Amino acid sequence: MTQYDVVIEALQTNGGYATLGQLNHMVLKSPEFKWKGKTPTANIRRIVQERPEIFKIRPGLWGLTAEHDRIMRELGISVGAGVTTPRVEEFNHSYYQGLLVQIGNWRSFRTFIPAQDKNRKFLSHPLHEMATLSEFRPFTYEHLLKRGRTIDVTWFNDRDFPDAFFEVEHSTDIHNSLLKFMEFQDFRTRFVIVADTSRRGEFDGKAAYTAFRPIKDRVEFWDYDRLSDYHTKASVAYAAQESLGF
């Protein structure tokens, strides 16, 4: 069995599609094949990027080309199947939320998503099954907590303070997310906008507004490729910890 065969088998086992992080977990644990070389994850990435039998669904998400139509219908993003633009945008938003929640979980943070997003799905799993917190931690005044509960993803540390706030801006206004972040300028919290790389200029322009000067140097911009790459690396690190019993 070749490296390519193992990757294809892993995709088939997972229903025809998987994130690169999932593939790393499945392939490297395969009892049927001993992966050779010092960079197995790089080889897996190369296979999904180069083989015509595999297609890119979203950054970090890959599927079997032979199952293309079924996969797109199952995910609810099939072109020409009466799928509305809001439905596709909902998939995109919850997909990137799910990546952020998984990364936070792997890094031992407590993760929270807003109540209105709990029933949305990250691939086949409702987001509320992935987030580790059902209630936003009461670390400050209620009027600030009310604002914080609407942020797309929050990572809390083991002292129940927010380590990072994330807003996924697929098509909505980046300005509104910056206003949310401003409310928490007095906390040692990371602020991250996740959006398509084409919105980098918009982000830079709005973050430079005088009104956002207190957080200008603390707000980060992650495009989708950077997020998916972080997700992949975090999955590998988590798998290594598991293998060592941590």
pLDDT at 244: 59
Q: Are 221 and 195 in contact (CB under 8 A)?
A: yes
Count Cβ atoms within 10 A of the Cβ of residue 195 and give its class: 0-12 exposed, 13-18 middle, 19 or more buried.
Answer: buried
Q: Name which of 53, 161, 163, 157 is nearest 110 in CA terms.
A: 157
pLDDT at 41: 81
pLDDT at 1: 74
Is the C-alpha dihedral spanning 229, 231, 235, 238 positive or negative?
Answer: positive
Please give the chain's pLDDT, 246 residues, in tens: 788 888 999 999 999 999 998 898 887 776 665 656 556 788 889 999 999 999 999 999 999 999 999 999 888 887 555 555 777 888 999 999 999 999 999 999 999 999 999 999 999 889 999 999 999 999 999 999 999 999 999 999 999 999 999 999 987 889 999 999 999 999 999 999 999 999 999 999 999 999 999 999 999 999 999 999 999 999 888 877 766 555
Count Cβ atoms within 10 A of the Cβ of residue 98 and give its class: 0-12 exposed, 13-18 middle, 19 or more buried.
Answer: buried
65 vs 16: CA distance, rounded Å:
9
pLDDT at 40: 75
Q: Name which of 215, 209, 206 is nearest 181 in CA terms.
A: 215
Q: pTM of the entire structure?
A: 0.91
228 vs 4: CA distance, rounded Å:
21
Domains and CATH numbers, the chain: 3-78 (1.10.10.10), 85-230 (no CATH)
146 vs 161: CA distance, rounded Å:
15
